[in-house]
Amino acid sequence: QVQLVESGGGLVQAGGSLRLSCAASGSISSINTMAWYRQAPGNQREFVAWISSGNILNYADSVKGRSTISRDNAKNTVYLQMNSLRPEDTAVYYCNAKRVVLGQALNTYWGQGTQVTVSS
């Protein structure tokens, strides 16, 4: 099993920055990709950013150019640095971890989420 704990959310003014953290514990070797998703009230959960064990990166168009996903394997932690925040970035941000083989997710785990609120 893998446990994921997010932190770093909070209230920030538009144009500000936050760094979200996701600490993984348990069967770390069971995962090879980690991602951030977000969900605003009344909206579906949407993809934000993804990072593989080989540090291949992907970003949603909504955050591309403003966000950076990274990982510190020694700390078993993945980060999402968000700059130039906008009110539309307001959401609960969830950490996701998967083991992907040949494009198929064999295991998937979710954190409890951390709230990001961006004021105008």
Report the chain's mean pLDDT, rounded to a whole number: 95
What pLDDT was estimated at residue 23? 97
Q: How confident is the model at residue 71 (pLDDT cuts 50, 70, 90)?
A: very high
Neighbours of 46 (CB within 10 A): 12
Q: Is pLDDT above 90 for 73?
A: no
For residues 37-52, average pLDDT: 96
What pLDDT was estimated at residue 33? 93
Q: Is pLDDT above 90 for 7?
A: yes
State how far the Cα of 104 lies from the Cα of 15, in Å rounded to an integer: 37
For residues 21-40, average pLDDT: 94
Tell me how far CA of residue 77 lies from CA of 4, 21, 24, 48, in angstroms: 9, 7, 6, 17
What is the percent of the chain with per-residue pLDDT over 90, rounded to a whole number?
82
What pLDDT was estimated at residue 28? 87
> Residue 110, Cα to own-chain centre: how many angstroms?
10
Tell me how far CA of residue 14 lies from CA of 28, 36, 117, in angstroms: 35, 20, 9
Q: Is pLDDT above 90 for 45?
A: yes
Q: Is pLDDT above 90 for 103?
A: no
What pLDDT was estimated at residue 57? 96
Given the structure tokens 């949407």, which residue do they identify? 46
Tell me how far CA of residue 58 lies from CA of 2, 24, 34, in angstroms: 22, 20, 11
